[in-house]
Amino acid sequence: MTTLISALGLLLAVGAWNPAWAVGDEPGTTRIPTVTRTVKIFTELENAISSAIQKRDAAALQKMISEDFELRIGKLPGAPIPRAQWMDSVLREPFVPTRIEQMAVHDFSNIAVVSFLESVAVAGKHDVGKDVFVVDVWKPAGNTWQLAIRYAGPADSRSIAIPGGAPPAPQIPKKY
């Protein structure tokens, strides 16, 4: 009898551990991605910048952007856009709602390097040609962080091959 109970206990333990039996893997269920603490922090910071731009709140934006901030874009990497020019531009231009996807954070204590895909949706439809790959460098400022440098360029991998980069996987359109 104890052997039978031990065998059942072992089966239950293996069943609970087996990822193939995990909740969310059954057909018809969805998985909820786990977000790391740093991804959560920097997603909130990136969204706060976006919100300040949308509200045209220069004072809030100034608090989140370091004094020596600069933007470097892929087409003109040797011509940084200084803080004042960038702020004037983003606060003047029409706001385009975006969504942050595929964020990665590398926290080195004295700086954090945050990369993500900024996806543009126009009227609820994803506008593939307008996605931007962003790398932000954040530095500590008291109890929070300030954006120090932003590198940005088009995310359309079909336009150029990146040395050392694998060829892109074919995109399969989603049908809902």
CATH code: domain of residue 51: 3.10.450.50
Q: Give the residue-averaged pLDDT of 11-25.
A: 40
What single DSSP character describes residue 102? E
pLDDT at 49 over 90: yes
pLDDT at 21 over 50: no
Query: Over the chain, what is the mean pLDDT?
Result: 78
- Please report which helix (H) or strand (E) contains residue 92, including its range: helix 83-92
Q: Is 122 left (phi over 0), alpha (psi -120 to 50) or beta?
A: beta
Residue 8 falls inside a structural domain: no
> What is the pLDDT at residue 53?
94
> What is the pLDDT at residue 16?
38
CA 78 to chain CA centroid, nearest Å: 25
Residue 22 falls inside a structural domain: no
The pTM of this model reads 0.70
Lowest mean pLDDT among 19-28, 75-84, 113-122, 125-134: 19-28
pLDDT cut 90: percent of the chain above it: 49
- For residue 155, the tally of other CB atoms under 10 A from its CB is 20
Residue 60 falls inside a structural domain: yes
Separation of alpha carbons 76 and 81, rounded Å: 10
> What is the pLDDT at residue 143?
92
What burial class does residue 147 get, using C-beta atoms within 10 Å of its C-beta: 0-12 exposed, 13-18 middle, 19+ buried? buried
Q: Based on the structure, what is the number of domains in the chain?
A: 1
Residue 145 falls inside a structural domain: yes
Residue 19 falls inside a structural domain: no
Instruction: For residue 97, give its domain range.
Output: 37-154
